[in-house]
A and B are shown apart, each in its own frame.
Chain A
Amino acid sequence: QKEVEQDPGPLSVPEGAIVSLNCTYSNSAFQYFMWYRQYSRKGPELLMYTYSSGNKEDGRFTAQVDKSSKYISLFIRDSQPSDSATYLCAIDEDSNYQLIWGAGTKLIIKP
């Protein structure tokens, strides 16, 4: 079992829909949770960064961490065609730098 599991998709939704992207992880020591967005032929771009459990909101994006279920989510409200990209989760322990990356979910927003 991989330490971080992420459905590769593609996930195709109509414009304006609420999108839910998810990762599950196996190591309960993980404390730092990040979401990156990667457009085709570009480098990943940091979207959201959360520490421990709870929710964090930034504009149309909400990151949610459920440590009891070892489950993290990224919600996108009012999705736009410009949100079409691959979304990667990245998770880290507290004690040292060993960032574990999900495989990425390809998201397609249809106009």
Chain B
Amino acid sequence: DAGVIQSPRHEVTEMGQEVTLRCKPISGHDYLFWYRQTMMRGLELLIYFNNNVPIDDSGMPEDRFSAKMPNASFSTLKIQPSEPRDSAVYFCASSPSFRAGAFFGQGTRLTVV
């Protein structure tokens, strides 16, 4: 398996623009997580899904953030409108079970100017 695949790897956008990050989890993994990592705040869980259903989105910072998982092999994280403070590395991770530990993708480095 190729692991968790995220796209794009890098994204530079202007403030106010919509940004969509994409993730393909490892096949057979029932759990999918979206994280954000910054120097100041470290790694933060934004939202996680179980069997394509959002379970906990309490980490989503604002209504500008939304996430979807239309099927078992694809998820998106959307920011609309984007702001400079959204600049961070966004990771998608998947896991075969609730407490198995997560497999992370390579991340999307987002810069909002």
Chain A residues at the B interface, C-beta cutoff of 8 Å: 32, 34, 41-46, 49, 88, 92, 97, 99, 101-104
Which of B42, B44, B91, B101 is close to A43, meaning CB atoms less than 8 Å apart? B91
Q: Are A99 and B45 in contact (CB under 8 A)?
A: yes
Which of B44, B99, B104 is close to A45, meaning CB atoms less than 8 Å apart? B104
B18 CB contacts on chain A under 8 angstroms: none
- Assembly CA distance A34 to B99 (angstroms): 10
Interface of B is mostly: strand
Ranked 3 nearest A-B pairs via Cβ: A43-B104, A46-B101, A101-B43
Q: Decide if B25 is an interface residue (CB 8 Å cutoff).
A: no
Q: Are B43 and A44 in contact (CB under 8 A)?
A: yes
Q: Decide if B93 is an interface residue (CB 8 Å cutoff).
A: yes
B103 CB contacts on chain A under 8 angstroms: 46
Question: With A32-B99, A43-B91, A97-B98 as given contacts, are A104 and B104 in contact (CB-CB < 8 Å)?
Answer: no
* Chain B 76-113 interface 0/1 with A at a Cβ cutoff of 8 Å (1 = within): 00000000000000010100001111111111010000
Q: Are A49 and B101 in contact (CB under 8 A)?
A: yes
Distance (Å) between the CB of B59 and the closest chain A CB? 10
B42 CB contacts on chain A under 8 angstroms: 101-104
